[in-house]
Every structure is written in C-alpha cells, then in structure tokens.
Amino acid sequence: MELLVGLSLMPKEATYYFTRATIDRALNEKKLAAMAAVHGLKGLTYPTVPDAVNAARKTADKERDLLFIGGSAFIVAEALSLSAVLPD
C-alpha cells in the first residue's frame, strides 16, 4: 500500500530506470514498472542496479538533469558501491 501511495506522488515528467536489489525478496523490476505505469510514470526496466545506474548516467544531460537513486536502502547501497568505479 505504501508503495502505491509513493508512486502516485512521483513526478510524471521524469524518466524512470526501474530495477531491483540483489536480495531474494526484492520486488521484480517489471512488476514495479507496471505498477508505476498505472500512475503515469514512464521508464525502462533493468535487471541490476549497475545496469540501471549506467543507463541513467549515459542518458542524463550533465547540465540539466539530476540523477536521484532511491527506493530502498538496498538499492541505494548497491548504487553507492558503484561510485568508486564509475567516472563522473
């Protein structure tokens, strides 16, 4: 229920990169994208956090875009572990 409320509050004009944490109980990225679509959110799915982060970094405009990584502490932790190996 909280997830559905959260999705309804997300900006509709943003591009989303749906992924899943590397834990057994993580919500499937395709299911998440389908739930988000009900609320008018658009994006693509990626099987891993590194795949999603890499795709977002490649498509982001460094002058105009903000890359926000959220969802769960597991997702954020995986993304933070990439910061040492990903160039700016």
| pLDDT of amino acid 6 | 85
pTM score, two decimals? 0.86
In whole angstroms, give the CA distance from residue 62 to residue 35. 29
- Please tell me the predicted confidence (pLDDT) of residue 82: 86
Yes or no: say if 46 and 14 are a contact pair by the CB < 8 Å rule.
Answer: no
Across the chain, which distance is largest between two alpha carbons, in Å?
A: 37
32: enclosing H helix or E strand = helix 29-38
Going along the chain from its start, the domains and CATH numbers come out as 2-82 (3.90.190.20)
Strand ranges (E), 1-88: 15-18, 42-45
The model's pLDDT over 31-76, given as tens digits with 9 standing for 90+, comes to: 999 999 999 999 999 999 999 999 999 999 989 999 999 988 999 9
